Amino acid sequence: MKAAAPIGWLAAALICAEAAAVEPPLPSPTPGGAVADDQLVFSANGSRLTGGFGAGGGSATWVGNFGGGTVVGAGAEYQQISNAHWTLGTFSGAVAPGLRTHLYVEGHEGAGDLGERAFHYSLLAGGLLAQITSRLS
């Protein structure tokens, strides 16, 4: 009887997958194909380290899609591990000037404390992604 349950679930999943595959896509909710898609993304994490120390943090980020392959994001993050903690602001952006090329930039700026010592954190990165062939980028 135990083997029948997984087979039943598999059959139900396959039937649903087949039904989803033949349904036409829903029409775009924005008129004229315009893209105005803003998202808020929240995350949280936590863990217990050896010695009874803990770690955790969270972030909130806004991501805006401006169409034409242009995406911008901005957010804030807090992290804590044992006696160290830091807060930082983040920003990111990407643009796709062509179908096979994407340019991106991201930055992180913040500060924190490691015990009694304060520190500052700064990172700026950017790059170019290009699709060379249909299977290699």
Mean pLDDT, range 70-78, rounded to an integer = 95
Q: Is there a domain that residue 9 lies in?
A: no
How much of the chain exceeds pLDDT 70, in percent? 73
Residue 72 lies in a domain: yes
pLDDT of 34 over the 80 cut:
no
Task: Decide if 34 is inside a domain.
Answer: yes
Q: Give kind and range of the element (H or E) at residue 21.
A: helix 4-22
Number of domains composing the chain: 1
Structural domain of residue 49, as residue ranges?
30-130
pLDDT band at 3 (very low <50, low <70, confident <90, very high): very low
CB 75 within 8 A of CB 61: yes
The pLDDT, as a whole number, for residue 137 is 67
What is the spatial distance between Cα 80 and Cα 12, in angstroms, rounded to a whole number? 44
Is 16 among the domain residues? no
* Side-by-side strand order, sheet with 84-95: 37-48, 54-65, 71-81, 84-95, 101-114, 117-130
pLDDT above 50 (res 32): no
Q: Which of 5-19, 82-96, 104-118 shows the lowest per-residue confidence on average (mean pLDDT)?
A: 5-19
Query: How far is residue 129's CA from residue 105's CA, in Å, rounded to a whole number?
Result: 11
Q: Are 55 and 80 in contact (CB under 8 A)?
A: yes
User: Is this structure's pTM higher than 0.85?
Assistant: no
**pLDDT value at 23 more than 70:** no
Within-domain flag for 56: yes
User: 119 lies in a domain?
Assistant: yes
Q: Is residue 60 part of a domain?
A: yes
